[in-house]
């Protein structure tokens, strides 16, 4: 070996020795089981997790939207009558019982009243004066026609007759307000057909006009249903809208229609009343019974998935996991209403895409279930 070759060999040996003296940096092993693409928020889970996932292809649907509302059966305003005292006095007889069916004009109770006696006496006196005034006027007219009477006397008789008629009319009107009867007794009668709902008086009680109702009548053929609706749902309801009413106590269902709305919203419950007319009578239906109302408020188009498919991220995002060729991608979606364990997806999914409908929490331990 000549001198240049020996020199080159020495240089190479020194380089090799220097390289062997430095620390080696270990290279991390790549996990072949899980590969995540942080930019796309998609990844391929370990094979062991796949057996716990349920994946379904979704399709477009048109879901009928309904409102289920609590309610009760009530009388229509025109179907209730509150019967009060027509004269001050004492109740001497109650002629009906609760639940009894009565016709208009039927006697309900009897009151003894000094005011009634005075009003009837005043009417009798006014009738007597009216008769006298009519007789005097007729005689004055005959005398003038025969030429033996004076015109101013006929005019005075006519003026007294007008006064007597006005007085009699006032007395008759006062007696009519008191009601039928003789002497000091007044018979209070039913103002309309109906059923005696409540009797709030007993024999011996003192009563007066303008006080509380003594009896309440209701017409059982004129009932309606009142539903309680949240103010946020009012915009979805219109007069004439079709509904279905269920009365659990009678195990009966009947069609109904929205008639009107209450003009007020309750300050505490934030609900208002919606009045519905029943399409037909229900045997045994009574005011006060509980009812369940179902209102059809249109249809909601979109893709329906089980509620378990939708996760909540960061407190506000709604996410589903879409599977594509073994890779799973977190997809933000806009959800609609959920019913019967399913939720409508308004935006974010297309028909035919495969979605994790069960086990999605295994793919994202930082998310929460929608429900």
> What's the pLDDT score for residue 303?
81
Given a cut of 70, whether residue 35 has pLDDT beyond it is no
pTM of the model: 0.51
> What's the pLDDT score for residue 149?
84
* Confidence tier at 256 by pLDDT (50, 70, 90): very high
What CATH fold (topology level) applies to the domain 68-78+219-298?
Elongation Factor Tu (Ef-tu); domain 3 (2.40.30)
Q: Which of 44-53, 128-137, 303-312, 331-340 has the highest mean pLDDT?
A: 128-137
User: Per-domain residue ranges for the chain?
Assistant: 35-63+300-369, 68-78+219-298, 82-113+184-218, 118-168
> What's the pLDDT score for residue 72?
95
Give the distance from CA 247 to its chain's centroid. Answer: 15
Given this structure, which CATH class describes domain 35-63+300-369? mainly beta
Phi, psi of 290 (to 5 degrees): -75, 150
Average pLDDT score over the chain: 83
For residue 357, what are its two tokens? Answer: 């409908």
What is the average per-residue pLDDT within 337-358? 84
> What's the pLDDT score for residue 298?
62
Which are the contacts of 231, defined by CB distance < 8 A and separation ≥ 6?
265, 270, 271, 272
In this structure, of 9-18, 163-172, 272-281, 318-327, the range with the lowest mean pLDDT score is 9-18
Q: Which of 22-26, 56-60, 221-225 has the highest mean pLDDT?
A: 221-225
> What's the pLDDT score for residue 370?
60
pLDDT tens digits, one per residue of 88-139: 999 999 999 998 999 999 999 999 999 888 988 999 999 999 999 999 999 9
User: Fold identical between 35-63+300-369 and 68-78+219-298?
Assistant: no
Q: What sign does the dihedral 274-275-278-283 (CA atoms) show?
A: positive
> How much is the CA Rg of the chain, to the nearest whole Å?
45
* Confidence tier at 63 by pLDDT (50, 70, 90): low
CA distance 170 to 113: 19
> What's the pLDDT score for residue 369?
63
In this structure, of 13-22, 53-62, 145-154, the range with the lowest mean pLDDT score is 13-22
What CATH fold (topology level) applies to the domain 82-113+184-218?
OB fold (Dihydrolipoamide Acetyltransferase, E2P) (2.40.50)
For residue 12, what are its two tokens? Answer: 């190479």
> What's the pLDDT score for residue 301?
60
> What's the pLDDT score for residue 326?
83
CA distance 242 to 238: 9
> What's the pLDDT score for residue 221?
86
pLDDT tens digits, one per residue of 6-31: 444 444 444 444 444 444 444 333 34
Given a cut of 60, whether residue 36 has pLDDT beyond it is no
Contact (Cβ atoms closer than 8 angstroms) between residue 348 and residue 334: yes
């Amino acid at each position: 070996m000549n001198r240049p070759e020996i020199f080159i060999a020495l240089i190479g040996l020194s380089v090799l020795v220097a390289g062997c003296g430095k620390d080696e940096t270990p290279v991390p092993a790549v996990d072949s089981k899980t590969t995540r693409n942080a930019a796309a928020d998609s990844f391929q889970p370990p094979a062991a997790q796949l057996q716990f996932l349920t994946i379904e292809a979704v399709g477009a649907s048109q879901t009928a939207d309904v409102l289920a509302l609590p309610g009760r059966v009530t009388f229509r305003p025109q179907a209730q009558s509150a019967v009060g005292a027509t004269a001050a006095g004492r109740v001497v007889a109650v002629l009906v019982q609760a639940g009894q069916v009565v016709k208009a004009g039927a006697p309900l109770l009897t009151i003894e009243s000094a005011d009634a006696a005075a009003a009837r006496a005043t009417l009798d006196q006014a009738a007597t004066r009216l008769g006298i005034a009519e007789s005097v006027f007729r005689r004055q007219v005959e005398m003038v026609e025969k030429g033996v009477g004076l015109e101013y006397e006929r005019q005075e008789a006519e003026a007294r007759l007008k006064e007597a008629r006005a007085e009699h009319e006032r007395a008759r009107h006062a007696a009519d307000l008191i009601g039928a009867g003789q002497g000091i007794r007044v018979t209070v009668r039913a103002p309309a057909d109906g059923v005696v709902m409540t009797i709030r008086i007993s024999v011996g009680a003192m009563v007066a006009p303008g006080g509380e109702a003594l009896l309440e009548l209701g017409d059982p053929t004129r009932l309606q249903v009142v539903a309680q609706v949240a103010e946020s749902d009012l915009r979805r309801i219109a007069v004439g809208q079709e509904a279905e009413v269920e009365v659990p106590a009678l195990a009966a269902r009947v069609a109904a229609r929205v008639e009107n709305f209450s003009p007020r919203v309750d300050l505490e419950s934030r609900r208002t009343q919606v009045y519905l007319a029943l399409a037909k009578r229900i045997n045994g239906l009574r005011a006060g019974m509980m009812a369940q109302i179902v209102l059809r408020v249109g249809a909601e188009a979109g893709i329906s998935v089980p509620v378990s498919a939708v996760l909540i991220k960061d407190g506000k995002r709604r996410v589903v996991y879409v599977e594509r060729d073994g890779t799973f991608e977190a997809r933000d979606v806009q959800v609609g209403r959920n019913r019967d364990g399913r939720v409508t997806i308004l935006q974010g999914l297309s028909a035919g895409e495969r979605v994790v409908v069960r086990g999605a929490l295994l793919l994202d331990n930082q998310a929460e279930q929608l429900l």
